[in-house]
């Protein structure tokens, strides 16, 4: 069977095979009145997919496959760009033929207070683009696939100025950093922002902070990314491998945004005093389930600072981010890989080793799937 009955994608059926997803056919979710089918053109590779495939965010051995609910397959992928090929009867936000982007969220109730106040990413009924059960038990399947099906709210219009492989990483990684940067610095005069972890999210956070008018410090574990970070627009570079890296930084930042995928090198007791009074350390990095923050209460005390988090971003913010990228002419630094079993495996394996500068986008979906 072919589309619309069946989609094709790269799936695992056991977390130990996280690095070698295989081409599989699978049934999409039931087509709802506000659903959109996207014929995928390309898809970024986000570190969240490694955690999900390896089942590293839970102690439930079945969670990544959600085999309690549906088929024992998992197709990841949530920085999708593609063409709308079908729309439900109540869809008004896009039409067949449009180029759209889809990030890590595929559905929400759209009725609750959060959904109605531009915070649909925090909806209690939010459903992720992959690995998340719908109320009927169907487990969402992501964008390393011929097609992906999602609620129209999460299919974002893309400005014509940005090529698909460069706009793909903005759908999850870019949006995830844009939302807390904007919410924490807007209205401030000459804000100073520190970005920790110069990977996929971190490198976009540097460019986004600059575009929003901040003075930016890039914070990395060593010096290997220094020249790149400065080219991305960072005003300062801090290597935490230096013994006294925080000397003179007390009372400096309006926001510290943590984009690191592990807390193992994070010294919160040294970082928090670098914040101005009542300002925020926001962590978007989501490490292995067994990793913790280690911090002394006195590290918050002298500036009354806060530790917080942030999840994805809203549709409104996604659209605003892409407009900002056009206006300020910044683009994610992307290495493309042709989609196929070997290509998906190469992308996941190299990202796992930190061998990426700074985001992979899988491309060539039309050639591979014959779409
Ligand atoms: P990348 O692997 O591209 O980048 C992560 C960066 O973290 C690395 O470049 C490195 O920066 C730093 N890092 C890596 N390993 C370690 C370590 N052992 N100790 C300390 N720092 C380390 O990942 P992504 O940018 O794709 O994702 C980053 C995190 O954000 C992930 O945890 C991901 O799951 C999460 N995420 C969260 C979302 C949300 O809504 N909150 C949405 C999307 C992703 P450097 O070399 O400069 O030190
Ligand atoms: Zn992501």
Backbone angles phi and psi of 125, in degrees to 5? -105, 20
Do 17 and 157 belong together in one domain?
A: yes
- Residue 220 resides in a domain: yes
| Residue with token string 């971003």 | 313
Whole-angstrom Cα distance, residue 262 to residue 280? Answer: 19
Whole-angstrom Cα distance, residue 277 to residue 66? Answer: 44
Q: Is 226 in the pocket of ligand 1 (CB under 6 A)?
A: no
Taking the CA of residue 284 as reference, the ligand 1 atom at the shortest distance is 41
Q: Rounded to the nearest whole angstrom, what is the distance from the C-alpha of residue 78 to the centroid of ligand 2?
A: 6
Q: Is 238 in the pocket of ligand 1 (CB under 6 A)?
A: no
Do 243 and 345 belong together in one domain?
A: no
Q: Is 272 in the pocket of ligand 1 (CB under 6 A)?
A: no
Q: Is 241 in the pocket of ligand 1 (CB under 6 A)?
A: no
Q: Rounded to the nearest whole angstrom, what is the distance from the C-alpha of residue 261 to the centroid of ligand 1?
A: 3
- Residues β-bridged to residue 335: 360
- Taking the CA of 77 as reference, the closest ligand is 2
What pLDDT is stored for residue 109 in this prediction? 97
Extract the runs of DSSP E, i.e. beta strands, from 259-314.
Answer: 275-283, 306-309
- Residue 142 resides in a domain: yes
Q: Is 265 in the pocket of ligand 1 (CB under 6 A)?
A: yes
Whole-angstrom Cα distance, residue 250 to residue 306? Answer: 15
| Residue with token string 């729309």 | 87
- Residue 189 resides in a domain: yes
Q: What is the mean pLDDT of the chain?
A: 95
Q: Which of 309, 341, 358 is the last residue of a domain?
A: 309
What pLDDT is stored for residue 65 in this prediction? 61
Q: Is 199 in the pocket of ligand 1 (CB under 6 A)?
A: yes
Do 125 and 225 belong together in one domain?
A: no
- Taking the CA of 312 as reference, the closest ligand is 1
- Residue 300 resides in a domain: yes
Do 154 and 183 belong together in one domain?
A: no
Do 112 and 177 belong together in one domain?
A: no
DSSP 139: B
Q: Is 191 in the pocket of ligand 1 (CB under 6 A)?
A: no
Question: Could you tell me the residue range of the domain that residue 240 belongs to?
Answer: 173-309
pLDDT above 50: residue 300: yes
DSSP 327: H
Looking at ligand 1, which residue's alpha carbon is closest to its atom 7? 260
332 close to 166: Cβ distance less than 8 angstroms: yes
3-state secondary structure of 334: strand
User: What value of ipTM does the predicted structure carry?
Assistant: 0.98
- Residues β-bridged to residue 35: 151
Q: DSSP secondary structure string, 199-254?
A: SHHHHHHHHHHHHTT-EEEEEESSSTTHHHHHHHT-SEEEETTSTTTTTT-TT-EE
For range 340-369, the mean pLDDT: 98
pLDDT above 80: residue 64: no
Whole-angstrom Cα distance, residue 241 to residue 162? Answer: 37
Tell me, what CATH number does 100's domain have? 3.90.180.10
Do 12 and 80 belong together in one domain?
A: yes
**What tens digit of pLDDT does each residue of 183-241 get?**
999 999 999 999 999 999 999 999 999 999 999 999 999 999 999 999 999 999 999 99
Q: Rounded to the nearest whole angstrom, what is the distance from the C-alpha of residue 223 to the centroid of ligand 1?
A: 17
275 close to 301: Cβ distance less than 8 angstroms: no
Do 214 and 269 belong together in one domain?
A: yes
Whole-angstrom Cα distance, residue 70 to residue 168? Answer: 28
Do 12 and 158 belong together in one domain?
A: yes
Closest to 147 measured CA to CA, from 91, 77, 70, 48: 77
Q: Is 286 in the pocket of ligand 1 (CB under 6 A)?
A: yes
- Residue 317 resides in a domain: no
pLDDT above 60: residue 71: no
**What tens digit of pLDDT does each residue of 236-287 get?**
999 999 999 999 999 999 999 999 999 999 999 999 999 999 999 999 999 9
pLDDT above 70: residue 68: no
Tell me, what CATH number does 296's domain have? 3.40.50.720
- Residue 321 resides in a domain: no
Q: Rounded to the nearest whole angstrom, what is the distance from the C-alpha of residue 106 to the centroid of ligand 2?
A: 13
Query: Confidence class of residue 69 from pLDDT cuts 50, 70 and 90?
Result: very low
Looking at ligand 1, which residue's alpha carbon is closest to its atom 29? 285
Looking at ligand 1, which residue's alpha carbon is closest to its atom 33? 48
Q: Is 225 in the pocket of ligand 1 (CB under 6 A)?
A: yes
Do 65 and 113 belong together in one domain?
A: yes
Do 237 and 134 belong together in one domain?
A: no
And the tokens for 187? 């209205």
| Residue with token string 């506000």 | 34
And the tokens for 147? 């097609």
Taking the CA of residue 219 as reference, the ligand 1 atom at the shortest distance is 47
Q: Rounded to the nearest whole angstrom, what is the distance from the C-alpha of residue 302 to the centroid of ligand 2?
A: 34
Beta sheet of 74-75, edge-to-edge order: 22-26, 7-12, 74-75
Backbone angles phi and psi of 223, in degrees to 5? -100, -5
Closest to 157 measured CA to CA, from 206, 215, 213, 84: 84
Query: Confidence class of residue 58 from pLDDT cuts 50, 70 and 90?
Result: confident
Do 146 and 17 belong together in one domain?
A: yes
3-state secondary structure of 260: coil
What pLDDT is stored for residue 137 in this prediction? 85
pLDDT above 80: residue 62: no
Q: Is 105 in the pocket of ligand 1 (CB under 6 A)?
A: no
Q: Omega before 110 cis (within 30°)?
A: no
- Taking the CA of 172 as reference, the closest ligand is 2
- Residue 279 resides in a domain: yes
- Taking the CA of 56 as reference, the closest ligand is 1
- Other beta carbons within 10 Å of 33: 11
- Residue 219 resides in a domain: yes
Count up the domains in the chain and report the number. 2
3-state secondary structure of 145: strand
Looking at ligand 1, which residue's alpha carbon is closest to its atom 43? 173
Q: Rounded to the nearest whole angstrom, what is the distance from the C-alpha of residue 92 to the centroid of ligand 1?
A: 36
Do 250 and 304 belong together in one domain?
A: yes
pLDDT above 70: residue 1: no
pLDDT above 60: residue 11: yes
For range 288-293, the mean pLDDT: 96
Closest to 332 measured CA to CA, from 202, 241, 245, 234: 202
């Amino acid at each position: 069977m072919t589309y619309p009955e069946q989609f094709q994608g790269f799936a695992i059926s056991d977390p130990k095979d996280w690095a070698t997803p295989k081409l599989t056919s699978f049934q999409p979710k039931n087509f709802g009145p506000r659903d959109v089918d996207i014929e995928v053109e390309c898809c970024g590779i986000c570190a969240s997919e490694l955690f999900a495939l390896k089942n590293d965010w839970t102690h439930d051995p079945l969670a990544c496959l959600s085999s309690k609910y549906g088929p024992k397959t998992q197709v990841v992928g949530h920085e999708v760009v593609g063409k709308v090929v079908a729309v439900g009867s109540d869809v008004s936000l896009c039409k067949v033929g449009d180029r759209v982007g889809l990030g890590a969220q595929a559905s929400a109730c759209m009725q609750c207070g959060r959904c109605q106040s531009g915070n649909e990413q925090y909806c209690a009924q939010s459903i992720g683009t992959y690995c998340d059960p719908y109320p009927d038990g169907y487990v969402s399947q992501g964008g390393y696939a011929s097609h992906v099906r999602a609620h129209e709210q999460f299919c974002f219009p893309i400005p014509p100025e940005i090529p698909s492989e460069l706009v793909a990483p903005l759908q999850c990684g870019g949006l995830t950093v844009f939302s807390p940067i904007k919410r924490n610095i807007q209205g401030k005069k000459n804000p100073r922002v520190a970005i920790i972890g110069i990977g996929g999210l971190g490198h976009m956070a540097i460019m986004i902070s600059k575009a929003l008018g901040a003075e930016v410090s890039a914070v990395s574990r060593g010096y290997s990314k220094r020249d790149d970070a400065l080219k991305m627009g960072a005003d300062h570079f801090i290597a935490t491998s230096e013994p006294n890296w925080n000397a003179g930084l007390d009372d400096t930042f309006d926001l510290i945004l943590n984009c690191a995928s592990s807390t193992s090198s994070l010294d919160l007791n040294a970082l928090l005093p670098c914040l101005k009074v009542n300002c925020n350390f926001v962590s978007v990095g989501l490490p292995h389930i067994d990793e913790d923050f280690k911090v002394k209460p006195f590290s918050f005390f002298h500036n009354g600072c806060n530790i917080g988090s942030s999840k994805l971003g809203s549709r409104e913010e996604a659209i605003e981010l892409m407009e900002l990228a056009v206006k300020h002419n910044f683009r994610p630094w992307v290495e493309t890989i042709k989609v196929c079993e070997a290509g998906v495996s190469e992308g996941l394996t190299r990202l796992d080793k930190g061998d990426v500068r700074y985001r992979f986008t899988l491309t060539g979906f039309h050639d591979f799937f014959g779409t």
